[in-house]
Amino acid sequence: MFCLSELEDTVRVPPSDLNLPLEVAIKKALQKLFLDKVLSIGLCVSIYGIKSIEGGFVLPGDGAATYKVVFRIVVFRPFVGEVIAAKFKESDSNGLRLTLGFFEDVYVPAPLIPTPNRCEPDPYNRNQMRWVWKYGDDEFIIDDSCQQIKFRVENISYPPVPTERAEDAKPFAPMVVTGTIDDDGLGPVSWWEACAPISDDED
Amino acid sequence: MTSVKANAGALTNFEVLDLLNSRGASKDTTRVIASETVSRSEYKVYDYLMETAASTQTRDSVTKFSDKCKGFKLAKAEILNIINLRPSSDVELTPILEKPDEREIDIEGILALVQELLPPLPTVEAHKENEQEETEDGEQPNMETSV
């Protein structure tokens, strides 16, 4: 789910931070620049450490010092085929949306929900649709009550920043993970709790 | 900004949790305001990880497990997945593996190894104190809020 990435960048330390120890000041500037931002390599979660700092020049007309820094960051970048546990966020006619707390744009489109299924208007929440999986004679509902939902990553995409949008469109998601719950062991954890650990009682 | 190395190494959930812990993250409710070293978005990651298997793992158990996995012909990504998810049954392990039948993977063996080496998942209702050990030998768990 996470991996380390090594980057090099020019960092500008504002004059107000120059009384701090150098590493702390640079780390602060790096956090402001990278933390919680989506780069081409993924969502930056944390600064792991600084490898080298060079420079410290003050450019004319600017009170800040500029450094060339090589550092490592922890990025959230799931790989295709990874199984991740998430929580239910909302669902609509296109499919489900799951959240990881720190990352909320995990979508399970309708074709990747186990069939046969049906979508019905949610009786508790007028705007939402609810997905129900029909297995044999039982029906399993996918909604808020599911503690954890496991999904497998199918695809990660980084949609380009839109130039214009409709007024009521969803906030722009720079990184979208598409997942599937259509396989053994995937979907709400409660669906599989009946299977005994280690010994194979049912298939 | 240039990327020196886009992928300098994959991290297990445990390693990220360990990193946040060493910076001073903890479950205390006053922490979000008090902590200077851990930002709010890092806390969200911390909260997520505390609910997964990573919160009960130790560095020792994770290293031992990945060493022993070498005998099972698993891909690095699969070992990572297993450590992160800690499957306890056949049906939890199968979506992680790719074409297990063709590769003749010893599913029973892997599950037995998981059971033996990786600590069980944290209980969701009550976080027992004795289950939250993440210390390496000699390292102090940093559970105090930094003021």
A69, A123: one domain: no
Across the interface, which of A6, A81, A192 has its CB nearest the CB of B91? A192
A27 shares a domain with A125: no
pTM: 0.77
Same domain for A127 and A178, yes or no, is yes
A4 chain-B contacts, CB cut-off 8 A: 7-11
State whether A177 and A130 are in the same domain. Answer: yes
- Find the CATH number of the domain harbouring A49: 3.30.1490.120
* Residue of B3, B82, B96, B116 to mutate, interface with A, max A Cβ within 10 Å: B3
Report how far residue B50's alpha carbon sits from residue B17's, in angstroms, rounded to the nearest whole number.
Answer: 8
**pLDDT (0 to 100) of residue B133:** 40
Residue A56 lies in a domain: yes
Same domain, yes or no, for A91 and A65? no
Question: How many angstroms separate the CA atoms of A46 and A35, rounded?
Answer: 6
On the question of pLDDT at B146 being above 70, the answer is: no
Q: What is the pLDDT of residues B76-119, one digit of tens each?
A: 888 888 888 888 888 888 888 877 777 777 888 888 888 888 88
When mean pLDDT is compared across A93-107, A183-197, B55-69, the lowest value belongs to: A183-197
pLDDT the model gives residue A101: 84
Name the residue with higher pLDDT: A178 or B29: A178
Residue that terminates a domain, selected from A34, A53, A76 = A76
Q: Could you tell me the residue range of the domain that residue A101 belongs to?
A: 82-191
Q: How many domains does chain A have?
A: 2
Q: Which two tokens stand for residue A14?
A: 């504002």
Summarised one tens digit per residue, pLDDT across range A169-192 is 667 778 889 988 888 788 887 777
For residue A200, is it within any domain? no
Percent of chain B with pLDDT over 90: 0
Tokens (6 digits) for A85: 């546990």
Question: Within this chain, do residues A70 and A148 fall inside the same structural domain, yes or no?
Answer: no
In a domain, A201, yes or no: no
Specify whether A34 is located in the same domain as A115.
no
The residues in A 124-163 lying below 8 A from B, measured between CB atoms, are 147-148, 150, 152
* φ, ψ dihedrals at A133, nearest 5°: -100, 130
Q: Does one domain contain both A49 and A98?
A: no
The C-alpha atoms of residue B26 and residue B55 are separated, in whole angstroms, by 11
Distance from CA of B52 to the nearest CA of A (A): 8
CATH number of the domain to which A134 belongs: 2.40.50.140
CA dihedral over B101, A85, B12, A172, signed as positive or negative: positive
